A and B are shown apart, each in its own frame.
Chain A
Amino acid sequence: MTGNSPAAVALRKLAHSRSALIGVGLCAAFAMMALLAPWLAPYSYKKLDLAHRLMAPGQMGHWLGTDNLGRDLLSRLIYGSRVSLAVGIFSVSISLIVGVPLGALAGYAGRWIDSVIMRAMDLLLAFPSILLAITIVTVLGNDLKNAMIAVGVVGIPVFARITRASVISVKELEYVQAARTIGCSPARILTVHILPNCANPLIVQATLSLGTSVLDAAGLSFLGLGARPPTPEWGTMLGDTYRYYDQAPWLVIGPGLAILAMVLGFNLLGDGLRDALDPKTKEE
């Protein structure tokens, strides 16, 4: 990685941070797991085996044991990474797609448009996020798709605020004024000149939000408001089996650790990216 382009510098900084590398490793591992699930999983994630319920790890070729319906826990965890990644990416996309234009509009247009949009965002922020998500799922119906939408909606105000703040600081810069002077349309100024310069904080926030989205969706599923059976969603797995904690603790530990690892991965990566993209931190 040579060269002095900002991207190359950022990558070099990222590569030198140990915690960021752990984050990258975890995320990559889960991505591989999700992509290669059918080849990695030793069993089907939905095949019941009622004769071998709650088997302890290591028995009969079930490395992590079986759940309350005799399904292989390892296979369910591996397939579960698909669900959680999809949930994270999908809901963060919703937050981005809605939040960024709203924030950009508010920041660039200012005045009453700014007020209306940002008060609406304040309203969303005023609700505890899980409560808002529960309400949305209750209204839309109990489904994983709706849980993703709910988590995505909950994330909108964060992106709107970040975008607005960046847009306001960038829009007074001289090159933007120059663009305005030569007659660029506001839409062009916003999309070509302003937004690309607001990307850094958004990238960092999106990465961090992936983690919280996974966590929120797992929370909803734990409450029975997300994935429907037999989808191997980690939160659902926890919710369905936590009452066996004294007989079969692996059923709680497995999905619990999986959620922890994935969220930790996104958070470490997000922190690493923040440091790497910050021009004030020096390259070692």
Chain B
Amino acid sequence: MRIGLLALSLLLWGCTPRTPVSEPFGTVPSAPPEDVLVVGKPDDASGLDPALISDGESSQVCRNLFDTLVRHSANSMKLEPALAVSWKHSPDGLIWTFNLRKGVKFHDGTPFNAQAVVDNYSRQLQPTHPLRFPGNRFPYWADIWGTNPCLIDSLEAQDDYTVNFHMSEVVAPFVENMAMPFFGIVSPTALKKYGSDGFKHPVGTGAYRFVEWLPRERIVLEANPDYWDGPPAMKKVVFLPIKDATSRQLQLEAGKVHLITGVSLEKVEKLSLNRAVSVLSQPGMNVGYLAMNNEDPHFRQPLVRQAICQAIERQEIARALYRGLAVVAESHLPPMIWGQADLRAYEYNPDKARQLLARAGYPNGFKTEIWYMSAARTYYPDPKIMGEVLQAMLGEVGIEVDLKAVDWGSYLERVGKGEHQMALGGWVGDTGDPDNYLYVMLDDNNVNRRRGGSNLCLFKDAEVHKRLLKARQMVIQEDRARLYAEAQVLVHEKCPSLPLVHAPQVGATHPQLEGYKLHPTGTMILQYVRWKRP
């Protein structure tokens, strides 16, 4: 009886709504004694050869191991010299010349020179290059430059510290593209030495050098004392994959982890009141969208796609799932990037959606599935919940959705191959150029059923393709902007996929950590990070 009463009182205690915390709480901890930084990330890297990866988790690590020829500044899209000190193009825009930094060494002691750059780019360019090993696949190379024909025609070392790129056509965002972490320069000696296993043995010129990687457990880096841009203050960096958002936050609050990404928006308010944590937030250069497979028998029909666009209440999603911090997306292009079109929002109208479905020949709806990724992304703090909401909203108009979790490791490849019917898609830009969004996500050239392309809706449209291609071959921004606006209007009409939101970027750190800034691209720059010490 007594136990019963106890249980009852526990139950009642549990069910009484507690007043929400609104006062700051906790104490400000002091900086840890050693110069070690522990980073908690939603997932492990998939590989550590920058040319072989295409996901943010891997590129965040690679950004600190490798340098690119040019790079973005610490917190904006402004370009600054990195391994190249200056660059210029020929009058016709077809030859780019980079003057390289002298005296830089890779972590293994190999000197950095023009040959290293040529080796790195050629292994991606030439199918028979000796440094291309079995199993090597260069997803970004294909997305950005195309494979056959490739926009980079050839490159050569003019002398030890000068490299010339010969383009097959004018590529306006060429230098911006070069700043992507995916074009980081790997030591040619290491490539030769490790072959197909190179992705486990990263050797670059970056601020940190590689110590060890225990898959799904940790990645350890140490400071590169000879870094050309000055050695970093942090002696050691440890990346821990912590899948669960709550555990990541708890570990940060407990001081076991000093920097986390993928903070769940549900917890932002409460987390920002904890003095043991400082929360960072800014609008993200990303988009989350519902990728309909345009080659699927259902979604091949424009009426069905329009119906889907009208069945989903995106305002409500932005408000409820993103705490109002997200912006409803009308295009795949985030609002802070130039080239915007004036688009009328898809109206939320379930009745209209039902009518459209009836006109398409599905008066009673149909059955389909939505895939969601197993790990949180910047644009989907909880992919499963997003899936459940879409499932319920589509259920209202008669579309019965089966939700399927797919492991992130193979997600992009499988969706790119078109194995899905509908899938949660998303993109965090690497450059501030519209090309990096519209060409990557919506162009014909990025449909690849065999190996998986980045056009996740398998959308092919001659009119859109024409504009996207033309815009990347021009140099004047106003002209390009006009083409991008036109392309977006076309895409909006044909609605190959439904843009959902532009999610905010949220991260949190130890309050004594200095020099960490969220980067618009979502990458992680740890070069300037240090502990605040009295």
Contact = CB atoms under 8 A, between A and B. Distances in A.
Interface string A52-71: 01001100000011001110
B402 A228 contact: yes
A250 B14 contact: yes
B264 interface: yes
Given A243-B264, A250-B15, 8 more contacts: A46-B392, A48-B389, A50-B320, A50-B321, A56-B16, A142-B404, A250-B14, A253-B14
Contacts of B387: 229
A142 B405 CA distance: 8
Contacts of B385: 68-69, 240
B15 A229 contact: no
Interface band, chain A: 20 to 34
Contacts of B402: 228
Interface string A136-166: 0000001000000000000000000000000
16 contacts: A48-B388, A50-B321, A51-B320, A56-B15, A68-B266, A69-B389, A70-B320, A142-B405, A228-B402, A230-B392, A240-B385, A243-B245, A246-B270, A247-B20, A250-B15, A253-B14
B246 A229 contact: no
B258 interface: no
B403 interface: yes
B17 A56 contact: yes
A228 B391 CA distance: 11
A65 B389 CA distance: 19
B319 interface: yes
Contact of B391 (A230, A244, A253): A230
Question: Closest 10 A-B residue pairs measured CB to CB?
Answer: A56-B17, A50-B320, A243-B246, A249-B14, A48-B392, A253-B14, A229-B388, A57-B15, A250-B15, A50-B316
Interface of A: 46-48, 50-51, 53, 56-57, 64-65, 68-70, 142, 224, 228-230, 240, 242-244, 246-247, 249-250, 252-253, 257
Most buried by B among A46, A47, A65, A228: A228
B502 interface: no
B417 interface: no
Contact of B320 (A53, A64, A246, A250): A53
B393 interface: yes
B11 interface: yes
A135 to B, nearest CB: 16
Interface class of chain A by DSSP: loop
B414 interface: no
Interface in B314-358: 316-317, 319-321
A57 B17 CA distance: 8
Contacts of B389: 48, 50, 69
Interface in B209-265: 244-246, 264
A249 B16 CA distance: 9
A53 B382 CA distance: 16
B384 interface: yes
B15 A253 contact: yes
A252 B317 CA distance: 24
Contacts of B32: none
Interface in B377-424: 384-385, 387-389, 391-393, 395, 402-405
A56 B19 CA distance: 11
Contacts of B384: 229, 240
A230 B388 contact: yes
A224 B17 CA distance: 28
Contacts of A68: 266, 385
Interface in B1-17: 11, 14-17
Contacts of A51: 316, 320
B11 A253 contact: yes
A56 B15 CA distance: 7
Most buried by B among A47, A229, A249, A252: A229
B374 to A, nearest CB: 8
A57 B11 CA distance: 11
Contacts of A48: 388-389, 392-393
Nearest to A228: B403
Contacts of A64: 15
Contacts of B395: 46
Contacts of B391: 229-230
A6 B52 CA distance: 73
B18 to A, nearest CB: 8
Contacts of B393: 48
A53 B15 CA distance: 15
B130 to A, nearest CB: 40
